[in-house]
Amino acid sequence: MKNTEDSKEGGKAELKPNLKLFENSWVKKNLDYSKLMYFQLRSNVLSIVDIKNLSKEERKIALPEPINRFTLMCQLPNNRIFCYGNWLPMSGLAFIIHSDFKIELLSSGKPFFASGGVYFNGKVYVFGGYNGKAVSASQIYSLQENRWQNTTDLQEPGTFSNCDSYKGKILLSGIKHSKLYIYDTFSECYTDLLQLTPDSCKIICVGNSRGYVLQTSGDIFESEEDNIYSWKSLGNSSVFGTNLISYKVYLENSVYFIFCYGNLYQFNLSTKKTDMIVKIE
């Protein structure tokens, strides 16, 4: 593995929040990790949005090639971010952004981008992607061994699969997918759980011992408490966008994420409501 350093820090920009929404919000409290990151289109410029104080800064990152904003990004322990996949050039570039913004280059995976992925138990599970067409091939990256291995292909090709872990299993669904799947990290097998809307971005999250699926065209679904195999509809999701450009951040009892149009959203796990907080770009 190779370590590289970022160049000088860019300027900070103050965001204008929806003050009515934040009037009595926990966001004003002193919180721990609260940063969402994404890359600017075909550049090595990393945008960092701090949910706690609603500020944005940019840093130029030292990488061997310009990064597409739809590279897979997922959280690792110790406030690190795993990144994989690139487009123009199409490559399997993989690296970790450390909390001090230093970059650790990893061994490369398959030359895909727009994959979905999540960290679980020392490994990153990567599902599908795009290499001129949507693919079903899936991979596992071992952080300890710096090594990739193949795992069972998706049941249907998919891009921008959103994922979350739940008790040794992974919930996932992509834009083209018509179902919610659960992947068992031990057997490496998939089971379909729920019929969803195809051609819709899905946001998968887990909180309060329940699973949730938000769709940009379709309903919010909630699982029973401690039973990921039983689901019910909560009505329309009120989320608008084509795909995510950031990973998800869990803070207190809410989930935060950024869509490609630059809108920061909050999904409250108590009220089951989704709100657009601020336009970042």
Question: Per-residue pLDDT for 9 more than 90?
Answer: no
Mean pLDDT of 45-69: 90
**Confidence band (pLDDT; 50, 70, 90) for 226?**
very high
Q: Report in angstroms the alpha-carbon separations of 53 from 15, 185, 251.
A: 9, 37, 13
Residue-level pLDDT at 34: 85
Residue-level pLDDT at 70: 86
With pLDDT > 70 as the criterion, what percentage of the chain qualifies?
87
Which segments of the chain does DSSP mark as H helices, in order?
19-22
Reference 241, options 195, 185, 175; nearest CA is 175
Does residue 20 sit in helix, strand or coil? helix
pTM of the model: 0.87
Which residue(s) pair with 112 in the sheet? none
Instruction: Give per-residue burial for 19-51: e unless 16+ CB within 10 Å, then b.
Output: eeebeebebeeeeeeebbbbbbeebbbbbbbbb
CA–CA gap between residue 97 and residue 58 (Å, rounded): 14
Report how far Cα 24 is from the mean position of its chain's Cα atoms. Answer: 27
**Confidence band (pLDDT; 50, 70, 90) for 222?**
very high
Tokens 């800064």 sit at which residue?
A: 57
CA–CA gap between residue 34 and residue 173 (Å, rounded): 25
Residue-level pLDDT at 178: 92
Mean pLDDT of 249-272: 88
Mean pLDDT of 215-225: 90
Instruction: Give per-residue burial for 106-119: e unless 16+ CB within 10 Å, then b.
Output: beebbbbbbbbbbb
Convert the pLDDT of each residue in 186-202 to its tens digit. Answer: 999 999 999 998 888 89
Q: Are strands 219-224 and 227-236 parallel, antiparallel or unpaired?
A: antiparallel
Residue-level pLDDT at 38: 92
Instruction: Tell me 13's DSSP state.
Output: E
Complete DSSP assignment for 71-136? SEEEEETTTEEEEEEETTTTEEEEEEE-TTS-EEE-----S-BS-EEEEETTEEEEEEEESSSEEE
**Confidence band (pLDDT; 50, 70, 90) for 72?**
very high
**Confidence band (pLDDT; 50, 70, 90) for 26?**
very low
Domains of the chain, first to last:
2-279 (2.120.10.80)
**Confidence band (pLDDT; 50, 70, 90) for 8?**
very low
Convert the pLDDT of each residue in 113-134 to its tens digit. Answer: 999 999 999 999 999 999 999 9
Residue-level pLDDT at 29: 30
**Confidence band (pLDDT; 50, 70, 90) for 185?**
very high
Which residue(s) pair with 67 in the sheet? 43
In the chain, DSSP finds a helix count (H) and a strand count (E) of 1, 25
